[in-house]
Structure 1
Amino acid sequence: MTKTTKSDHGKKPVNLLEDPVGSTLKRMTIPMIYGMVLLMTFNLIDTFFVSLLGTQPLAAISFTFPVTFTVISLTIGLGIGTSAVIARSLGKKDHSAAKDSATAAMYLAAVIVAALSVVGYLFTDQLFTALGAQEQLLPLIHQYMDIWYIGSVCLIGPMIGNAILRASGDTKTPSIIMGSAGLINAILDPIFIFGLGPIPAMGIQGAAIATLLSWIFGLIFVLNILTKKLNLIHTHFSTIKNLLPACKNILKIGLPAAGANMLTPIAAAIMTAIVATYGESAVAAFGVGSRIESIACLVVLAMSMTLPPFISQNFGAGSMHRVEEAYKVSVKFVLVWQVVIFAVLVVSAPLIANIFAKEEAVADIIKLFIWILPLGYGLQGIIILTNSSFNALHKPMVALVLSIIRLFICYVPLAYIGSYFYDLTGFFVGALLGNVVMAAISYRLFSKQFTQDCVLSKA
């Protein structure tokens, strides 16, 4: 396999280097959307079952999020680096280099995640006490995290393995893996949490075991496809000498990408702290708005996973005109799509507010959020796609700098300034203006960078 992959049974394989740009991106993105919708749905079910155990288990799970998110963000970053390196090799028709890189990525991620998990396991009490967990919650946290740490290496399946598949142009299989793993987790949760037949009720530990088994399934599924069907992973042990160059290339992109991912929750925490000055109602409404945002921007997130492999393969093949076309087609689609989403949200704002809010004050702020911030989601999409494109072009530091500028020079500061002068309305308008300014900067910088790359490629 070089530049094509079967995306649908019975359909012509996707050729990232020759097929029409728009239709190719569409065929790649739609399966990712399905997979992400299923995964989000099953994650909500997972949280629901844990909530039935009571306030303390739910609080314990909440404390685990920063730690698990850190490890997951790192694997996502490594996945970005993996996808960029492999896709470029496939674009050059160098299947051997792609295979070496895929194998190196699996080893590298396993070693890094295992090392982090060992440290986390040894210092669980100190870590979660520092995060603010009270002593009575530590036994519950141990019940969940001790299992989570043991199984965390299996994350390389859904994270790194799926990145390798996307690099080859296959987005249907990753969506099946995400959806299937989420379904397995949702089915096993009530069985292990509350018990069934000979299986005893294990509480919060049962939730961790269900998650572990779903990861194991994902890992076995991915390895079977990568080794037997696509021949993109070595089945024999490779020496460190052979894998080291590929590891360096992956880390060169993966570490900055992981750093950029970790900036987002930091910015979110600062934004929440600003909102908290307006009381609990504002915090509750902002939390609802943030969840609405994650759903409203689902298509953008899916495209941020499918556009990079397309760009990297064509970058490797020297087809920079297809890179430019893919970027501009994606940007135009995102702008139009998010305008439609904004219109739907504005019309349904009162209904959404009534569903999520029991108090009038909370409902009013939810409506205010919906009437202002989603107007900029298309512009936020430009920012996200630009960062993804720079990673795909093997320019991760540019993407990292753009993330820093967006969050800590435009988005958060303008939101704070707006809140200082015009309260919550100013806060939301300031955040919107932050996206406007950053979208213009991102688009202009990518256009400039593309022009420079074209000049260099012709020189």
Structure 2
Amino acid sequence: MTKNANYSKILHGDIAKTLKDMTIPMIFGMITLMMFNLVDTFFISMLGTEPLAAISFTFPVTFTVISLAIGLGIGTSAVIAKALGSADIEEARFDAFVALVLSAILVIALSAIGFLLIDFLFSLLGAHENVMPYIHEYMEVWFLGSVFLITPMIGNSVLRANGDTKTPSIVMGGAGIINAVLDPILIFGFGPIEAMGVRGAAVASVLSWTVAVVIILHLLIRKKKLVSLCRQDRSVIVAVKKILKIGVPAAGANMLTPVAMAVMTAVIAGFGPAAVAAYGVGSRIESIASLVILALSMTLPPFVSQNFGAKQYDRVLGAYTTSIKFVLGWQLLIYVLLVVCSGLISHTFATEAEVQRVIVLFITTLPLSYGLQGVIILTNSSFNALHKPMNALMLSVVRLFVFYVPFAFIGSHFGGLHGLFIGAAIGNLFTAAIAFGWFNKTLASIQSADLKECNS
């Protein structure tokens, strides 16, 4: 397999332009997927309160499986991109094959356990008997089809590791469109197709994932030839260890976020239902306002890993600092826009005056630190790209449980709800400063060790 254009640009092209070209397609793909996920929720809400509540209960369980896939995807991307940067194309192709098989085995095993323990798991989460039948309808299908969700996620990581971010965006968006079209047909019935209710939503998702699997495997195996079964002197065990070394800590770090958010929600609940409702709106605003950061966190790691493998440390540092400067400026602009539109946003998402007031309070305070939060997210993904997964995991722990949540709690004690938001923002400031210094020190240490090895 010859070096493709994306591979050459990552190692030799203009840093800012290459990152921009890789990130823009990811933004559009994520927007498309987000829109169709909202459509999915909308159709289920039309079935009534209990079906919608049942779907809400499924989030922690499905997120656990998805977190595993995200972690494996991060490990896959880092391992393959480093091999490409080292000009070992065959190792990259073999690692891709191992990653696809490994992820399928792990997800099938985890989903099988989940399938057998549906009643136990959701009883622990507090699901009442009246919603349990809807949970069974959805989760039985979801667990059985979960491998079809995971395979495209890992396949997309392989493509991104090779510098291709456009194809994963098209696949993501295409799967979202198929899911949105099938949802009303399978949920409510159409012509000879009988209404399936909540089960129909799960079937629609599995069918859209299946289409994505066929497309991804065709691209990886037949068209782009990025996967190889050829072992030669390569060890499956070694490949598995490399992927899990990064993937397991990355999955763990990903699972910390909902835990921290649950603690934050519990603290905010002390200020009443209006505060909780406003915080829920704020969380959705955060996901949209941070869209560029999330897209960049997917495109920066392949760039870092490939140049790390090629020992081009100046390009690694250049990409990191360029990304940091961009997100700080970009998120400042987003903050100004949010403040200007705060009144409109509060009236759009709430009718009660108190909820509107808290939404405005949230918008004028916490989003000011989203650029700093971007520094943390990009540093975390860059640590994984440098094959330093424990650094990334520790950074997540420090951010959420040393600064963000504790500072928010202390702020709420002294300044009420306004103090809580200020405390969380200050927590982001301290963590960002630590993250930036830690990454630069780590990269310098890697470069120094490499120089000593060359001179010895």
Q: TM-score range by the shorter chain?
A: over 0.9
C-alpha deviations, 1:187-208, integer Å up to 9, x for none? 0000000000110000000000
1:4 corresponds in structure 2 to 4
**2:51 match:** 57
In structure 2, C-alpha distance between the alignment counterparts of 1:256 and 1:133, rounded to whole Å:
30
Task: Note if 1:229 corresponds to 2:218.
Answer: no
1 CA distance for matches of 2:3 and 2:18?
A: 13
Structure 1 runs of 4+ aligned residues shifted over 6 Å read 238-241
Q: CA deviation at 1:229?
A: 1.8
Structure 2 unaligned spans of 5+ = none
Within 5 Å, give how 1:149-160 maps onto structure 2: 149-160=143-154
Q: Secondary structure at the match of 1:15?
A: helix
**Is the CA contact (8 Å cut-off) linking 1:3 and 1:91 kept in structure 2?**
no
1:8-58: per-residue Cα shift (whole Å, max 9, x none)? xxxxx7621011111000000000000000000000000000000000100
- Give the 5 Å matches for 1:395-414: 395-414=388-407
Question: In the alignment, what sits opposite 2:316?
Answer: 323
TM-superposed deviation, 1:81: 0.2
Q: Which amino acid aligns with 2:361?
A: L
- Per the alignment, do residues 196 and 346 of structure 1 end up closer, same or farther by CA in structure 2, a change over 3 Å counting? same
In structure 1, C-alpha distance between the alignment counterparts of 2:260 and 2:90, rounded to whole Å: 41
| Residue in structure 2 matched with residue 262 of structure 1 by the alignment | 255
What letter is aligned with 1:401?
Answer: M
Q: 1:141 aligns with which of 129, 135, 139?
A: 135
Distance (whole Å) between structure 2 residues aligned to residue 366 and residue 211 of structure 1: 33
Q: Shift of the alpha carbon at 1:156?
A: 2.6
What's 1:9 paired with?
A: none
- 1:348 maps to what in 2? 341
Distance 2:229 2:253 in 1: 33
- 2:90–2:228: 8 Å Cα contact kept in structure 1? no
Residues of 1 paired with 2:151 and 2:398: CA distance?
33
* Superposition map of 1:15-414 within 5 A: 15-234=9-228, 242-414=235-407
Of the three residues 437, 442, 458, the one matched with 2:435 is: 442
Name the % identity: 59
Alignment TM-score, normalising by the size of structure 2: 0.97
Tell me the CA shift for residue 245 of structure 1: 1.1
> Structure 1 residues 240, 201: CA separation in 2 closer, same or farther (over 3 Å shift)?
farther
- Aligned partner of residue 158 in structure 1, secondary structure: helix
State the AA in 1 paired with 2:51. Answer: P
Distance in 2 between the 1:314 and 1:101 partners? Answer: 18
- The alpha-carbon deviation at position 93 of structure 1 amounts to 1.0
Distance 1:2 1:377, change over 3 A: farther
Report the count of equivalent residues: 452
Contact 1:331 1:381 in 2 (8 A): yes
Alpha-carbon distance between aligned partners in 1 of 2:298 and 2:341, rounded to the nearest angstrom: 29
User: CA contact under 8 A between 2:104 and 2:151: conserved in structure 1?
Assistant: no
The gaps in structure 1 that reach 5 residues or longer are 7-12
Q: Which moved more, 1:220-229 or 1:294-303?
A: 220-229
Structure 1, 225-234 or 185-194: larger mean CA deviation: 225-234
Quickly say closer, same or farther: Cα 1:304–1:390, change in 2 above 3 A. same
Change over 3 Å in CA distance of 1:168–1:241 after alignment to 2: closer
Partner SS for 2:27: helix
State the shift of 1:158 in Å: 2.4
